[in-house]
Structure 1
Amino acid sequence: MSVAFVREESAEAAQEVTLPARPLSTHPNLVTQSGLQALEQAVVNCRAAVKAAQLLDDANQRRRAVELAARDLRYFSERLASAELRPEPTSVEIVAFGHRVTIVRDDGRRQAYRIVGEDEADPRLGTISYYSPLARSLIGRRVGDLVDVDGHEIELVAID
């Protein structure tokens, strides 16, 4: 049957492709307390987004918005279900998950990062994933240790 004999809305719907699932990390889903709370809030926000999308008048906009919100809801629900809450570190002797570390790069730049789970990592906000090359180089180290990251020497100057 020609598309000319089908309602326009149905023809457009037939052309749409379901969005692929957001990729899930293969690494353990370690989270801090704040990371767990952020995942819980993301699920709440996504549920609200699905409900809001279902109320859109335009069928094409509604379909697209529901698909996007539902995809995010599936992702964050899965991340919340697989979350492994890690307690706050109790010692500042050796770098561990959850610590804030201060480093000095070989060019003199001083930077501080908190080592967190993948979903809460945002270097612009001062957080890095525990699985990032920098974090993996620092975990298990002590203040004063020098580490090589991508051919650059970094000194660990503080653990908080």
Structure 2
Amino acid sequence: MSRAFVNEDAGADRPDLPELPLSTRPNYVTPRGLADLQARLATRVADLAALKARAERLDKLPEAAAERDIRWLEARLKSAILVDPAAQSLQEVAFGLRVTVCDEEGRESSYEITGEDEADANLGRIAPHSPLARALLGAQVGDEVVWKRPAGDLTLEVVAISLP
């Protein structure tokens, strides 16, 4: 086909970006996680307004990305199930609480079980469906749990449960 018959501007008004995947798991969030999602939404809405106010708007991809992010954040907020850690009993490991464990070599580590959107291994925040969280949920101080890892099982003793 001759290039003369190709409309190079077709689809330029709305770039097709794949939607961000939404988790099929319940969307439990802590108050901090809910505030973070709300702040991220406000930031992306402001970003979109700034993009639409540009004098030069030939590149629609940044706008499409912002709109896609806003749809995803709105869906996550709509599905959010707020769980207040302060309402949890400190008798057993539960969502929103911080748990301190000791491994077989005597090293202590602390983890906070948070919503999947705020999980961050570098900060010790783990999602409730992670193998470590599944091993810890429901355990009490003094209990030993087995964390099934690809590198091999690790036995951990729960030494403390606290609010984050």
- 1:157 and 2:156 correspond: no
2:11 and 2:140 mapped to 1: Cα distance? Answer: 60
**What is the Cα deviation at residue 5 of structure 1?**
6.5
SS at 2:20's partner residue?
coil
Give me the identity figure in percent: 44
CA RMSD of aligned residues (A): 2.3
**What is the Cα deviation at residue 6 of structure 1?**
6.3
* Structure 1 unpaired stretches of 5+: none
Counterpart of 1:67 (choices 61, 64, 68) is 64
Q: Which has the higher helix share?
A: 1
- 1:27 and 2:3 correspond: no
- Code of the residue aligned with 2:58 in structure 1: it is A
Q: Does the C-alpha gap of structure 1 residues 106 and 3 become closer, same or farther in structure 2, counting only changes over 3 Å?
A: farther
- Code of the residue aligned with 2:89 in structure 1: it is S
What is the TM-score of this pair, normalised by structure 1?
A: 0.86
1:4 and 1:67 mapped to 2: Cα distance? Answer: 28
SS at 2:129's partner residue?
coil
State the partner residue of 2:12.
Answer: 13
1:45 and 1:58 mapped to 2: Cα distance? Answer: 20
State the partner residue of 1:83.
Answer: 80
**What is the Cα deviation at residue 58 of structure 1?**
4.8
